[in-house]
C-alpha cells in the first residue's frame, strides 16, 4: 500500500455529543475506556499497510494533537512517510477555515500533489469499526474506478443521517443522495472514499471554483461525480458505528460489554492501537462485584459495576453501584452512590450517597431536547457532585460545576446545572 495516501478528516465539532465534545474535537473523545475515537481509523490504516497519513484538524485540536503526537504508538514516527497534522492557516488566497470536508482536502492539495500516491484514501476520524482498507483499494483497482465509496446497511429509521448510495448489480453507483429527509433505501456511505489521485485533484479544483458549492464530499463532490466518472460502491460486511450522537455513542459501549460482542476488540491480527498510559494494574477489593464490564488499567473497584466501561484511574468505593454507564479517566465514585445510565467525563468526583440517573421520568433536557431524551445523564469534566444529591434522567451537569451550584437536593429530569460563577479559579 505504499502507493496510497491516507487523509483523515478530524476537524469535526461534534455538537450532538454535547459537553463530551465541548472542549475537544469529536475524534478525540474517549471511547471504550482506553481509546480515543480516532484510534480506530488510525489503526485501520496501519493494519492495512498505509503508512503515509495526513490528519486534518480544525476544531479545538489541542487534545487530538497531544494524543497523536508524532505517531509513535501506531509506528508512524517515520522519516519517510508517517503521520502529519494538517491545520487550516491563512497566508495565501486559498487559506482559511475549512468550509466543508472537500474544502479541507482542497486546502491541503499541496500535500496530495507532493505525494507519489496513485490513490488517495479519504476517511472520517469519528467512526468505530475495524476494516482492512487494502481490500477496498484492491476492489477499486480491479474495477478501474475513479472513485469508490464504502457502504453499509443501517436501520431505515437511521438512514436520514447519512448519504444514501444506490448502485447497480455490478457495483457502479448510479445515485448518491446526502442525508435525505425521507431516505428511499438504507444502504449508506461510511465516509470512506478511495480516489485516483489525479481525479481527486481535478474534481476538487472544479468544486472550489463553483461559488454555489458547499465544499462537501457528500453534498457536492460525490453526487457531481456520479454519471461523469466511474464511481463504485464497496460493501462492508462488518460492524460500523458513527458515534456522533449521545444515544449511538452510549449504545456502542453497551455493544462492547455484550457476552458475544459484534465488534471484536480482541482481534490480535488487526489490533486497535492507542497512546499508552503508564498506569498500574486494575485492582478489585474484597467486596467488589463486576459483571459484563470493561475495566481499564489503574482502576480500583470496591463496589458493584454492571454493564459499564471504566477508563484508567477510575475509583468506585465500597457500597457504590455503577450500572449501564461510561466513566472517563480518574472519575471518583464515593461510598453508597448509585450511578445509572450516565456518561461521566474526566476527573469528576461524586460525593457519598448521591444518585445520578435517578427515577423513571424521561423528560428531555430543556437545553438539548434533540440530543438528551433517552434517559442518559451527562456530567462534564472536572465537576464535583455534592453529598446526598439525586439527579434525574436526561440531565446535563456542566464542566467544573461545584457543590455550591446545586440549589436543591433533587435535580429534576431534563435539567442543566451550570456554574454560578464561571471565573477560573473561583
Q: Which of 90, 142, 84 is nearest to 115 (CA)?
A: 84
The secondary structure of the chain, three-state, reads CCCEEEEEECCCCCHHHHHHHCCCCHHHCEECCCEECHHHHHHHHHHCCCCEEEEECCCCCHHHHHHHCCCHHHCCCCCCCEEEEECCCCCCCCCCCCCCHHHHHHCCHHHHHHCCCCEEEEEECCEEECCCHHHHHHHHHHCCCCEEEEEEECCHHHHHHCEEEEECCCCEEEEEEECCCCCCCCEEEEEEEEEEHHHHHHHHHHHHCCCCCCCCHHHHHHHHHECCECEEEEECCCCEEECCCHHHHHHHHHHHCCCCCCCCCCCCCCCCCCCCCCCCCCEECCCCEEECCEECCCCEECCEEECCEECCCCEECCCCEEECCEECCCCEECCCCEEECEEECCCCEECCCCEECCCCCCCCCCCCCCCCCCCCEEECCCCEECCCCEECCCCEECCCCCHHHCCCCEECCCCEECCCCCCCCC
* Any domain includes 422: no
Are 242 and 322 within one domain? no
Are 252 and 397 within one domain? no
Are 191 and 323 within one domain? no
Q: Give the separation between CA 202 and CA 5, rounded to whole angstroms.
A: 17
Question: Residue 93 above 80 pLDDT?
Answer: no
- Confidence bin at 89 (pLDDT 50/70/90): low
Are 251 and 293 within one domain? no
* Any domain includes 310: yes
Residue 26 makes CB contacts below 8 A (sequence gap 6+) with: 12, 13, 14, 17, 37, 59, 125, 126, 244
Question: Residue 13 above 80 pLDDT?
Answer: no
Specify the pLDDT at position 153.
96
Question: Which residues lie across from 131 on neighbouring strands?
Answer: none
Are 170 and 224 within one domain? yes
Give this prediction's pTM: 0.93
In tens, the pLDDT along 314-340 reads 999 999 999 999 999 999 999 999 999
* Any domain includes 151: yes
Specify the pLDDT at position 88.
74
Are 104 and 250 within one domain? yes
- Confidence bin at 91 (pLDDT 50/70/90): very low
Q: Give the separation between CA 426 and CA 421, rounded to whole angstroms.
A: 7
Specify the pLDDT at position 96.
65
Q: Which of 166, 177, 186 is nearest to 232 (CA)?
A: 166
In tens, the pLDDT along 97-141 reads 788 899 999 999 999 999 889 999 999 999 999 999 999 999 999
% residues pLDDT > 70 (the chain): 96
Q: Give the separation between CA 164 and CA 411, rounded to whole angstroms.
A: 41
* Any domain includes 271: no
Is 131 within 8 Å of 163 (Cβ atoms)? no
* Any domain includes 276: no
% residues pLDDT > 90 (the chain): 82
Q: Give the residue-averaged pLDDT of 371-395.
A: 97
Residue 4 makes CB contacts below 8 A (sequence gap 6+) with: 50, 52, 117, 118, 119, 120, 121, 133, 137
* Any domain includes 272: no
* 4-13, 123-132, 243-252, 377-386: the lowest-pLDDT one: 4-13
Q: Give the separation between CA 151 and CA 160, rounded to whole angstroms.
A: 14
Is 357 within 8 Å of 341 (Cβ atoms)? yes
Structural domain span for residue 398 = 283-417
Q: Give the residue-averaged pLDDT of 147-168.
A: 96
Tell which of 256, 291, 319 closes a domain.
Answer: 256
Question: Residue 53 above 70 pLDDT?
Answer: yes
* Any domain includes 42: yes
Q: Would you state the torsion angle of the CA atoms of residues 224, 230, 235, 240, taken in this order, to the nearest 10 degrees?
A: -40
Q: Give the residue-averaged pLDDT of 254-275.
A: 93
Q: Which of 116, 157, 159, 170 is nearest to 5 (CA)?
A: 116
Other residues' Cβ atoms within 10 Å of the Cβ of residue 10:
30
Are 221 and 121 within one domain? yes
Q: The domain that contains 330 carries what CATH number?
A: 2.160.10.10
Are 292 and 147 within one domain? no
Are 251 and 120 within one domain? yes
Question: Residue 33 above 70 pLDDT?
Answer: yes
Q: The domain that contains 89 carries what CATH number?
A: 3.90.550.10
Tell which of 256, 291, 323 closes a domain.
Answer: 256
Are 236 and 91 within one domain? yes
Question: Residue 90 above 70 pLDDT?
Answer: no
Specify the pLDDT at position 329.
97
* 2-6, 331-335, 377-381, 422-426: the lowest-pLDDT one: 422-426
Are 55 and 193 within one domain? yes
In tens, the pLDDT along 282-308 reads 999 999 999 999 999 999 999 999 999
Specify the pLDDT at position 425.
42
Are 352 and 252 within one domain? no
The total number of structural domains in the chain stands at 2
- Confidence bin at 422 (pLDDT 50/70/90): low
Q: Which of 235, 230, 227, 156 is nearest to 199 (CA)?
A: 230
Question: Residue 384 above 90 pLDDT?
Answer: yes
Handedness of CA 249, 250, 256, 259 (dihedral sign): negative
* Any domain includes 397: yes
| pLDDT, averaged across the chain | 93
- Confidence bin at 344 (pLDDT 50/70/90): very high
Question: Residue 2 above 90 pLDDT?
Answer: no
Amino acid at each position: 500500500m505504499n502507493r496510497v495516501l491516507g487523509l483523515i478528516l478530524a476537524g469535526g465539532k461534534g455538537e450532538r455529543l454535547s459537553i463530551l465534545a465541548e472542549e475537544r474535537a469529536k475524534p478525540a473523545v474517549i471511547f471504550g475506556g482506553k481509546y480515543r475515537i480516532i484510534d480506530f481509523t488510525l489503526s485501520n490504516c496501519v493494519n492495512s499497510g498505509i503508512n503515509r497519513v495526513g490528519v486534518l484538524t480544525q476544531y479545538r485540536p489541542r487534545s487530538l494533537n497531544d494524543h497523536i503526537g508524532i505517531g509513535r504508538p501506531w509506528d508512524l514516527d517515520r522519516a519517510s512517510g508517517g503521520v502529519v497534522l494538517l491545520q487550516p492557516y491563512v497566508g495565501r488566497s486559498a487559506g482559511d477555515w475549512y468550509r466543508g470536508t472537500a474544502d479541507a482536502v482542497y486546502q491541503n492539495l499541496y500535500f496530495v500533489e507532493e505525494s507519489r500516491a496513485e490513490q488517495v484514501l479519504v476517511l472520517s476520524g469519528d467512526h468505530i469499526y475495524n476494516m482492512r482498507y487494502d481490500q477496498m483499494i484492491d476492489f477499486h483497482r480491479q474495477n478501474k474506478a475513479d472513485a469508490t465509496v464504502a457502504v453499509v446497511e443501517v436501520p431505515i429509521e437511521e438512514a436520514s443521517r447519512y448519504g444514501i448510495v444506490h448502485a447497480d448489480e455490478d457495483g457502479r453507483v448510479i445515485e448518491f443522495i446526502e442525508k435525505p429527509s425521507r431516505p428511499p433505501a438504507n444502504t449508506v456511505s461510511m465516509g470512506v472514499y478511495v480516489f485516483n489521485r489525479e481525479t481527486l485533484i481535478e474534481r476538487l479544483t472544479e468544486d472550489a471554483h463553483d461559488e454555489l458549492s458547499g465544499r462537501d464530499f457528500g453534498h457536492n463532490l460525490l453526487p457531481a461525480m456520479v454519471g461523469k466518472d466511474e464511481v463504485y460502491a464497496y460493501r462492508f460486511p462488518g460492524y460500523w458505528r458513527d458515534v456522533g450522537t449521545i444515544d449511538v455513542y452510549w449504545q456502542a459501549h453497551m455493544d462492547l460489554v455484550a457476552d458475544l460482542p459484534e465488534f471484536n476488540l480482541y482481534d490480535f491480527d488487526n489490533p486497535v492501537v492507542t497512546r499508552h498510559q503508564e498506569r498500574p494494574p486494575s485492582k478489585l477489593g474484597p467486596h467488589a462485584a463486576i459483571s459484563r464490564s470493561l475495566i481499564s488499567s489503574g482502576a480500583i473497584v470496591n463496589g458493584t459495576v454492571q454493564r459499564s466501561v471504566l477508563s484508567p484511574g477510575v475509583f468506585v468505593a465500597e457500597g457504590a453501584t455503577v450500572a449501564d454507564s461510561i466513566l472517563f479517566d480518574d472519575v471518583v465514585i464515593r461510598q453508597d452512590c448509585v450511578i445509572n445510565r450516565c456518561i461521566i467525563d474526566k476527573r469528576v468526583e461524586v460525593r457519598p450517597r448521591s444518585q445520578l440517573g435517578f427515577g423513571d421520568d424521561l423528560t428531555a433536557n430543556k437545553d438539548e431536547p434533540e440530543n438528551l431524551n433517552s434517559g442518559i445523564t451527562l456530567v462534564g469534566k472536572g465537576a464535583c457532585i455534592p453529598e446526598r444529591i439525586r439527579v434525574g434522567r436526561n440531565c446535563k451537569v456542566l464542566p467544573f460545576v461545584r457543590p455550591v451550584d446545586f440549589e436543591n437536593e433533587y435535580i429534576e429530569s431534563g435539567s442543566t446545572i451550570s456554574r454560578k460563577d464561571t471565573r477560573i479559579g473561583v
